[in-house]
Amino acid sequence: MDTPSCGSCHQRTPFYKRENEGVVLCKTCFRESIERRVRRTISHWKMFSPNDHIAVAVSGGKDSLTMLMILKKLSRKFEHTKITAVTVDEGIAGYREEAVDLASEYCKKLGVDHVIVSFEELYGNGLDDFLKGKQNRMTACSYCGVFRRKAINVAARRVGATKIATAHNLDDVVQTYLLNLFQGDVERFARFSPVLHDPRGAFLPRVKPLCEVPEKEVALYGYAEGLTFQTASCPYMMEALRNELRSVVNRLELAHPGVTFSAYRAMTRLRELAEPNVAPSELQACQSCGEPTHMGLCEACKMVGVRKDKLDVPA
């Protein structure tokens, strides 16, 4: 009797069944399929050019460490491409230290330069301290999101990067899309793209090389590569609606393999249709920190209350 073997190389032992394609793969073929997928995503969306200096946002979680590993691998063929890992220390006691250490260790292993910026350095306070005085007007995630986006932008500019890569996977982008839909945020909803360019060049372009890889497969790739990553989740993670959407999408995908990809394809197509009608709004320099904003002060400066002495003023 035949022992089942990998559907791709027809030799090695099966490791993973990709339900939506009905194919069984061995560990090697699975890994190669993920690298191929990322390579295709990058070239389809024209994410990088050979001379890019890529700032890879690395949190220390499985997605970002896996992305760093894959980008490092893919960049071997491009001698003029440079990669620098950028980590934001939000100042979350008992959670962030471990992740920052993991990220550092890992960068050393891969031979990647690593830069850490902290909320404390940029905003005068870490997230824990910042949230102390706040009534629950906004969730911790929405403060943190604004601060982190800016911190990554500042850090990437400091190292002279030309692009920022973030590790959002397929599940993340579909959840965010639905979140924008259910929160009625039409602007963001219509604007989804794996590549965010600012036509005026005020923001560094942001790309999502893992956005066509399901979360489960990102985790499995990391596991297959023997990756150690932080498993604890952020103590502030309480985005109720996102969590519910996550379980809804997971359930749908289990019952109907492939629906997440279909949603993703629809998202990218819808953007193309909406494009001429989504006018980029005018950007100007924040009056306090100089980072790009729609008017007056940027969101981060509004949240923190302006402290010119503490804010980073990019040249």
Q: Which residues bind Zn ion (CB under 5 A)?
A: 6, 8-9, 12, 26, 29, 286, 288-289, 291, 298, 301
CA distance 125 to 45: 37
CA distance 29 to 51: 30
Q: Shortest gap between Cβ of 143 and Zn ion (angstroms)?
A: 14
**Cβ closest to Zn ion, residue 213 vs residue 289:** 289
262-286 in b/e form (b: 16+ CB < 10 A) is ebbeebbeebeeeeeeeeeeebeeb
Longest Cα–Cα distance of the chain, Å, equals 75
Q: Shortest gap between Cβ of 291 and Zn ion (angstroms)?
A: 5
User: Residue 287, class by beta-carbon neighbours within 10 Å (0-12 exposed, 13-18 middle, 19+ buried)?
Assistant: middle
**Cβ closest to Zn ion, residue 19 vs residue 239:** 19
Q: Shortest gap between Cβ of 285 and Zn ion (angstroms)?
A: 9
Q: Shortest gap between Cβ of 254 and Zn ion (angstroms)?
A: 25
**Cβ closest to Zn ion, residue 9 vs residue 295:** 9
Contact status, residue 301 vs residue 284, Cβ threshold 8 Å: no
Q: Which of left, alpha, beta for 192 (phi over 0: left; psi -120 to 50: alpha)?
A: beta
Contacts of residue 49, Cβ cutoff 8 Å, sequence gap at least 6:
none
**Cβ closest to Zn ion, residue 171 vs residue 291:** 291
**Cβ closest to Zn ion, residue 191 vs residue 310:** 310
**Cβ closest to Zn ion, residue 211 vs residue 300:** 300
**Cβ closest to Zn ion, residue 124 vs residue 268:** 124
Q: Shortest gap between Cβ of 125 and Zn ion (angstroms)?
A: 15
Contact status, residue 63 vs residue 167, Cβ threshold 8 Å: yes
CA distance 26 to 6: 5
Q: Shortest gap between Cβ of 76 and Zn ion (angstroms)?
A: 22
CA distance 217 to 41: 15
CA distance 97 to 90: 10
The identity of residue 242, as a single letter, is R
**Cβ closest to Zn ion, residue 8 vs residue 104:** 8
Please tell me whether residue 101 adopts helix, strand or coil conformation. Answer: helix
